[in-house]
């Protein structure tokens, strides 16, 4: 797999199937890398885009934009009036370009977009994988049923291959 499940992460069987389908070695060929795994109407993400969540890769703008929409929708389900704001992609572009110091970026964006700077979460290997799984299995993904069905089929094939190897 392009991205193994981190040791500190616990996944249900459905989530393991999704992770294998997104990050598995057989799905990294050029044809399948263009497969759309998340569609929310105006936004969509291909497997190639989700593969930027692999540690060490630079996350592409499409993933950040759809993630902001996903987080906003999830937040609105819980709270009637939005009490959180998600940073625009320009923040990520500036942060990844290293043309400004992290302190300068915090000062520039904190008052306008953030409640408290100490409420910022760190992105780890576990959260990168969790983001990919949540985007694919989230309620706002119009392709959720199709992709999770394919993920289960893919997992079944992997189990059958492994079973055949054991009998040899």
- Higher pLDDT: 145 or 91? It is 145
pTM, two decimals, is 0.70
Q: Describe the crossing of helices 125-137 and 61-78 by its angle, rounded to 10 degrees.
A: 70
pLDDT tens across 16-45, in order? 999 989 988 766 565 688 899 998 877 889
CA distances from 24 to 113, 151, 152 (A): 37, 10, 13
| Residue 157: count of CB within 10 angstroms of its CB | 13
- The mean per-residue pLDDT over the stretch 50-71 comes to 84
**Is 44 within 8 Å of 36 (Cβ atoms)?**
yes
pLDDT tens across 82-134, in order? 556 566 676 767 777 778 787 877 777 666 555 544 455 666 788 888 889 99
- Higher pLDDT: 8 or 3? It is 8
What's the first-to-final CA gap in the chain, in angstroms?
23
Q: Give the per-residue pLDDT at 117.
A: 44
Q: What residue segments make up the domains of the chain, in order of their start?
A: 13-83+124-167
In eight-state DSSP terms, residue 8 is T
């Amino acid at each position: 797999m392009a991205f193994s499940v981190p040791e500190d992460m616990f996944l249900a069987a459905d989530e393991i199937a999704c992770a294998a389908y997104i990050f598995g070695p057989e799905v990294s060929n050029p044809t399948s890398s263009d497969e759309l795994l998340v569609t929310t109407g105006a936004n969509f993400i291909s497997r190639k885009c989700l593969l930027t969540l692999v540690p060490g890769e630079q996350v592409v703008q499409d993933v950040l934009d759809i993630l902001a929409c996903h987080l906003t929708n999830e937040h609105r389900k819980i709270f009637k009036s939005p009490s959180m704001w998600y940073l625009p992609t320009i923040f990520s572009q500036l942060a990844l370009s290293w043309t400004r110091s992290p302190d300068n970026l915090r000062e520039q964006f904190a008052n306008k977009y953030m409640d408290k700077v100490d409420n910022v979460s760190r992105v780890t290997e576990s959260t990168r994988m969790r983001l990919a799984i949540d985007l694919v299995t989230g309620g706002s993904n119009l392709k959720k049923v199709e992709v999770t069905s394919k993920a289960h089929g893919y997992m079944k094939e992997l189990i059958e291959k492994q079973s055949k190897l054991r009998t040899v």
